[in-house]
Structure 1
């Protein structure tokens, strides 16, 4: 049976409040050896719940941050709260932060200030950073070049760019994570980018409860469905599914300093 890590989902999201333990169980049954659950949705309570869920489960880890949509709320006090939460041994990354010039739920200057604050926090805590980027690849690259990459590196989550953007992110030292979008018929630029990412920089994720892959598109996503994305990515890259899953596990272990999960019988 193939195994893999869901490197980005949101277990504290309200859509999981009624059955999060069942969701976690289904993921394990499907071959998801580890999960990185990301807070960064709305108020700080989401990050606190994310850490609490991770602390209850040996194979779940957490990232804490302020989403670009909420960047207008990223005050010095909020960064201090994230710093305190990161004291938990289960917090393995800062984020997701970044830029979203598609929806513009926060002004660009607020998004850029928040991104710089997260980059500084990641550097201070010696943690990798998880980046959200939508219609803002060029500006994000500029800011990271100006500010400097955290020593521990980072991940472009839910990559939605093209091969040119992928090359720029790779040149900065980022890993690139692919979501269920890669299973959509209109994802040709993303699929082309997936072919140029080196083996040691590739990751997969669900971004659950959002962006369910085919054949679940339009339904609530959950970590178990990351196997569909893994299968599509392996098919595109013409590699064995189990081998790619093992590579993703190794990459996540290196970047997030996760313990290697026990091998399934």
Structure 2
């Protein structure tokens, strides 16, 4: 069994068959899913919460992706605060910094990140962080503001072992996606081997970043098993044991309802 700690079930790529996608995940042993809004307009977050509220073992995170940080106004933060009143919302995000694509100016990304950190602290929720080519600046900002009391997760980690150590020192968990199955992901695989047991998570980030042998196809939560197997191999542990550890870590950080409760 495993939990997919980060996917996007409200994405347009799932619009026609989201229920079938969820059923396949269940059949594959995915016992809990955290679906993240954040991408695009607030309607994406609304749909994300609605999907979570229809399914016992699906939970939601709401936020503004750093790509859209230019649209992160005080009104948008207020809308996220209202959405987070749902008992199925377990995190704020994904927020963060993406200095690779720069779809929003750096100053807008930093302002949005600070607003999300403040909202997570206010609501006593963990924060989900996206970081691409911006590890140093992200660490600086979190050192200034402090990590929310409930902690947070660096999702879809793409840094090296040194970056992992810095994030761990701040108190973050680190989540690995299907990227660790890619041939050119040696530095990420090295980092995956050093994260402590109680800080490691796995995810799909679906419908993006399908792991080998599905690379190039639409990703979906069922494929998290492939990432779990690779991560277990890197850490020299049994996949079932690691899966149970990830479930425990997600339950602790996101305050997830127990399986079968």
TM-score between the two structures when normalised by the length of structure 1: 0.98
Match in the other structure for 2:242: 244
Residue pairs, 1:123-162, within 5 angstroms: 123-162=121-160
Whether the aligned pair in 2 keeps the contact of 1:200 and 1:247 (CA below 8 Å) is: yes
* CA distance in 1: counterparts of 2:190 and 2:260, whole angstroms: 33
Match in the other structure for 2:255: 257
Match in the other structure for 1:188: 186
Q: What secondary structure is seen at the aligned counterpart in 1 of 2:91?
A: strand
Q: What secondary structure is seen at the aligned counterpart in 1 of 2:6?
A: strand
* CA distance in 1: counterparts of 2:251 and 2:97, whole angstroms: 26
Match in the other structure for 2:13: 15
Deviations 1:167-221 (A, max 9, x none): 0000000000000000001000000001110000000000000000000000000
Q: What secondary structure is seen at the aligned counterpart in 1 of 2:163?
A: helix
* CA distance in 1: counterparts of 2:246 and 2:258, whole angstroms: 11
Q: What secondary structure is seen at the aligned counterpart in 1 of 2:63?
A: strand
* CA distance in 2: counterparts of 1:203 and 1:34, whole angstroms: 13
Q: What secondary structure is seen at the aligned counterpart in 2 of 1:35?
A: strand
Cα drift, residue 73 of structure 1: 0.1
* CA distance in 1: counterparts of 2:120 and 2:217, whole angstroms: 34
2:28 aligned residue (30, 44, 47): 30
Cα drift, residue 261 of structure 1: 1.1
Match in the other structure for 1:44: 42
Residue pairs, 1:86-235, within 5 angstroms: 86-235=84-233
* CA distance in 1: counterparts of 2:217 and 2:94, whole angstroms: 23
- Residue segments in structure 1 that go unaligned for 5+ positions in a row: none
Cα drift, residue 260 of structure 1: 2.2
Cα drift, residue 262 of structure 1: 3.5
Q: What secondary structure is seen at the aligned counterpart in 2 of 1:200?
A: helix
TM-score between the two structures when normalised by the length of structure 2: 0.99
RMSD: 0.7
* CA distance in 2: counterparts of 1:121 and 1:91, whole angstroms: 13
Q: What secondary structure is seen at the aligned counterpart in 1 of 2:3?
A: strand
